[in-house]
Amino acid sequence: MKWPPRWNNRNRQAALDRRISHELRTPLAVLRGELEALQDGIRPLTREAVDSLFGDVMRLNRLTEDLYQLALSDQGALTYRKTLTDPMATLKEDLAALMPEFNSKQLSVQVIDNTPGPVSLYADPDRLSQLFRNLLKNSINYTDSGGRLEITVSKKGNTLLIDFSDSAPGVPEQELTKLFERFYR
C-alpha cells in the first residue's frame, strides 16, 4: 500500500484500523441480523439456521486468523516449517478440495504439467497450500460462470513456474497495481 509521504506511523495505523474495522463490520452485521431474526421469531430455529450461523462464525474466525497471520508477517514472526515438498501433490489436493465450488460455477479447470518429471521444493507445505487456495478461490470468485482456469506448470533451469490463467472478466489494467494492497478486492 502506498502511503502519502507526509503520513507518519500513527496515520498509517489509523487507516489500517479503519480498513480492518470495515472488514469485520459486514460479517458481524449479518450475524447479528440473523440472531435477532431468531430471537424475534421471524426466522425459525432450524438445523439450517444453525448451520448458517455456524458458517458466519467460521468466516469471522478465518478473517481474524488472517489478520493475526498478517500481524505476524509484519513483525517478521511468521513461522515456516520447510520440508522437501511436492508442489504438484499440494496443488492437486487443494484443487480437489475446491472442485465442488468450481463445478457449482460451471468453471472448467485444466492443469498442464510441462515438467520433465517429479518436482520437489524446499518449502512449507501449509504456506504453499495457503497460496494455492488463495489463487484458486480468487479464480472461483472473480471468473464469470461458465469460464475456465488453466494452470500451467513448467521448469526453467532451477526455477519452477506455476501460471494461473483464468477467463473473463480479469483484472482491469488500472487495478493491477492495487492487487497486493491489503484488503483490496
Q: What are the percentages of helix, strand and coil residues in the chain, rounded to 5?
A: 55, 15, 30
- For residue range 73-110, what is the model confidence (pLDDT) as tens digits? 777 777 778 899 999 999 999 999 999 989 999 999 99
CB 84 within 8 A of CB 120: yes
| pLDDT tens per residue, range 14-44 | 677 777 777 777 778 888 888 898 889 898 8
Give phi and psi for 139, each to the nearest 5: -65, -40
* DSSP assignment string, 83-97: EEE-HHHHHHHHHHH
pTM: 0.65
Q: What angle do CA 122, 69, 7 make, to 5 degrees?
A: 115
Give the end-to-end CA distance of the chain in Å, rounded to a whole number. 13
- Cell numbers for 85: 515438498
d(CA 153, CA 80): 24
